[in-house]
């Protein structure tokens, strides 16, 4: 601990000299507060000045079991004693095969083949490339476009960015790079608001008009994450699946944020009982320990891909199927599936709803909503980060607002008292920031 904060200040100054942070200007121009973390365990981040923060972000959806979980630490150590990494071209290993078997077993049938890659964005690139190669293999080379909905977010690489909401702030910067895809309105029905034909009509019309050139539909099932933090009714997903079948278009489910229990079912698709042709998972896959993601597809998709002129799927990252990440991912999934995760997420959902409810009375707040272990306060105006971020830290929590969204997706191991502290701090900080 550094009670006077001088070591923290020195680290921040060194950081400002050379380090770039996400969605930030470089160096001194970055502005805004920056907090130095010394360590993390359980649901607490320890700052170098000795302060402890209850983590409300799970390191961006990933650390579902909190930090330094003994089971995951042990899996990491055991795998390190065997091998940290080997290339995956022409070689295989137990951690990769075991993880792939587990993923096939827990995701909706008939997903059957697993491509283990290194980040969520890359798994979306892989999904898009699979879809395009599938149609090449099936003799339909004109099917090259993706159809999606507004307010979606699928990652920051060029293929993934091209299916993010065009008004989300990036498309106009990269027009030379991004493919032109098709955007239907965001699902208009809230999670608890039954989906009607009228809700689906604009999506259905766009798909009908462009089916011949559409390779796949890509969606975040039941909860639009970073772009909206808003749930939508599973019935929308059911209709999308039916429409994809009607028009012979593939369905890609991006479960990178929603996967592994976050919305109250193991996967968002499970709320609707549907199966996609291709599914992306990441984030919580390794419990936040290491960067790994996966793209799963059906045998039909795999066969189509391999029927293309290339005869193989044309992708292969250096760190594909990294054994260390795969071993931790398997331990993480075993831990999750062996826990009463469904009851836990339900408890957290109820506690988030109760704790955040007072925010609805604040004049600057547009809406308060929860879905699974996700709680959101949406403000009327963008929050002032220079005000709200230090206030949240002062109140002992780590929550990272974005635009008009002050939201939390805490680790599943967060207890009732910590959820109460977390939600009270969010309400208090929003009250301060919108005063």
Other Cβ atoms closer than 10 A to 347: 17
Q: Alpha carbon 418 to chain centroid distance?
A: 23
**Is 283 marked as a binding-site residue?**
yes
Binding to ligand PLP by CB under 6 A, coded x per residue (else -) over 122-151, reads --x---------------------------
56 binds ligand PLP, rule: CB under 6 A:
no
| Residue 400 assigned ligand-binding role | yes
Residues annotated as catalytic are 23, 153, 254, 283
Q: What is the C-alpha to C-alpha distance for residues 435 and 427, in angstroms, rounded to an integer?
A: 12
Residues 6 or more apart whose CB falls under 8 angstroms from that of 160 comprise 121, 124, 125, 128, 154
Q: From the CB of 164, what's the least distance to ligand PLP, in Å?
A: 9
Q: Measured from the CB atom, is 119 or 298 closer to ligand PLP?
A: 119
Sign for the CA dihedral angle at 184, 154, 35, 356 comes to positive
The nearest distance, CB 123 to ligand PLP, in angstroms, is 7
Decide: is 405 part of the binding site for ligand PLP (CB under 6 A): no
Q: Is 408 among the residues that bind ligand PLP (CB under 6 A)?
A: no
Q: Is 318 annotated as a binding residue?
A: yes
Residue in 159, 225, 264, 372 binding ligand PLP, rule: CB under 6 A: 225
Record the tokens describing residue 245, joined without a space. Answer: 């079948």
Q: Which of 430, 385, 382, 405 is nearest to 31 (CA)?
A: 385
Q: Is 230 among the residues that bind ligand PLP (CB under 6 A)?
A: no
Asked whether 53 and 393 are in contact (CB, 8 A), the reply is yes
Size of the site for ligand PLP (CB under 6 A): 14
- Could you tell me which residues come within 8 angstroms of residue 365 by beta carbon, excluding any fewer than 6 positions away? 359, 377, 378, 379, 380, 430, 434
Cα gap 328→313, rounded to integer Å: 26
The smaller minimum CB distance to ligand PLP, of residues 284 and 425, is found at 284
Q: Is residue 256 a contact point for ligand PLP (CB under 6 A)?
A: yes
Residue reference for tokens 């609707």: 272
Distance between CA 291 and CA 118 in Å, rounded? 6
Q: Indicate whether 159 belongs to the interface with ligand PLP (CB under 6 A).
A: no
- 3-state SS of 204-250 is HHHHHHHHHHEEEEEECCCEECCCCCEECCHHHHHHHHHHHHHHCCE
Orientation of helix 94-106 relative to helix 323-337, angle to 10°: 40
Instruction: Compare residues 225 and 372 and give the one whose CB is closer to ligand PLP.
Output: 225
DSSP designation for 42: B
Q: Which one, 254 or 277, has the nearer CB to ligand PLP?
A: 254
* 262 touching ligand PLP, by CB under 6 A: no
**Cis peptide leading into 110, omega within 30 of 0?**
yes
For the bound state, the minimum distance from the C-beta of residue 49 to ligand PLP, rounded and expressed in Å, comes to: 29
123 vs 330, beta carbon nearer ligand PLP: 123
Among the listed ranges 133-141, 254-262, 311-319, 378-386, the one in contact with ligand PLP (CB under 6 A) is 254-262
**236 vs 365, beta carbon nearer ligand PLP:** 236
DSSP letter for 402, please.
B
**Contacts (CB under 6 A) with ligand PLP, residues 67-126:** 119-121, 124
User: Could you say which of 254, 270, 277, 351 contacts ligand PLP (CB under 6 A)?
Assistant: 254
Chain-centre distance of CA 310, in angstroms? Answer: 31
Instruction: Say how far apart CA 423 and CA 432 lie, in whole Å.
Output: 14
Residue 372 in contact with ligand PLP, rule: CB under 6 A: no
- Closest CB to ligand PLP among 282 and 355? 282
Beta bridge partners of 378: 367, 405
Shortest distance, position 316 Cβ to ligand PLP, whole Å = 18
Q: Does 226 bind ligand PLP (CB under 6 A)?
A: yes
Residue 153 touches ligand PLP, criterion: CB under 6 A? yes
Which helix (H) or strand (E) covers residue 45, if one does? Answer: strand 44-47
Binding annotation for substrate: 60, 153, 283, 316, 400
Binding positions for ligand PLP, rule: CB under 6 A:
119-121, 124, 153-155, 220, 225-226, 254, 256-257, 282
Binding annotation: 60, 120-121, 153, 254, 283, 316-318, 400
């Amino acid at each position: 601990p550094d009670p006077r904060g001088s070591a923290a200040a020195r680290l921040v100054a060194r950081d400002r000299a050379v380090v770039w942070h996400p969605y930030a200007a470089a160096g001194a121009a970055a502005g805004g507060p920056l907090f130095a973390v010394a360590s993390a365990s359980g649901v607490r981040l320890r700052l170098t000045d000795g302060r402890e923060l209850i983590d409300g972000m799970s390191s961006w959806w990933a650390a579902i079991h909190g930090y330094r979980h003994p089971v995951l630490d042990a899996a990491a150590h055991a795998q390190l004693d065997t091998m940290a990494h080997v290339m995956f071209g022409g070689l295989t290993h137990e951690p990769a095969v075991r993880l792939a078997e587990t993923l096939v077993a827990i995701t909706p049938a008939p997903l059957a083949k697993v491509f283990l890659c290194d980040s969520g964005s890359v798994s979306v690139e892989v999904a898009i490339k699979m879809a395009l190669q599938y149609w090449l293999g099936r003799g339909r080379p004109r099917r090259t476009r993706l159809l999606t909905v507004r307010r979606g977010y699928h990652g920051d690489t060029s293929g993934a960015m091209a299916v993010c909401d065009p008004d989300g702030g990036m498309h106009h910067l990269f027009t030379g790079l991004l493919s032109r895809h098709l955007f239907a309105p965001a699902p208009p029905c809230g999670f608890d608001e039954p989906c009607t034909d009228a809700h689906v009509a604009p999506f259905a019309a766009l798909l009908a008009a462009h089916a011949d050139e559409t390779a796949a539909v890509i969606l975040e099932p039941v909860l639009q994450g970073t772009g909206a933090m808003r749930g939508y009714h599973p019935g929308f997903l059911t209709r999308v699946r039916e429409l994809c079948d009607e028009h012979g278009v593939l369905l890609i489910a991006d479960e990178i944020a929603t996967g592994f229990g976050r919305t109250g079912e193991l996967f968002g698709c499970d709320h609707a009982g549907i199966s996609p042709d291709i599914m992306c998972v990441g984030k919580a896959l390794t419990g936040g320990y290491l960067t790994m993601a996966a793209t799963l597809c059906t045998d039909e998709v795999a066969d189509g891909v391999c029927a293309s002129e290339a005869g193989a799927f044309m992708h292969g990252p250096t760190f594909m199927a990294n054994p260390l990440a795969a071993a931790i991912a398997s331990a993480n999934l075993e831990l999750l599936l062996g826990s009463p995760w469904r009851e836990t997420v339900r408890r957290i959902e109820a506690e988030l709803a109760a704790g955040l409810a007072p925010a609805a009375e604040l004049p600057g707040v547009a809406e308060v909503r929860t879905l699974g272990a996700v709680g959101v306060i949406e403000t009327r105006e963008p929050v002032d980060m220079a005000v709200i971020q230090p206030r949240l830290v002062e109140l002992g929590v780590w929550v990272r607002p974005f635009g008009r969204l002050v939201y939390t997706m805490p680790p599943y191991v967060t207890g009732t008292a910590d959820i109460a502290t977390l939600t009270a701090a969010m309400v208090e900080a929003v009250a301060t920031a919108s005063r």
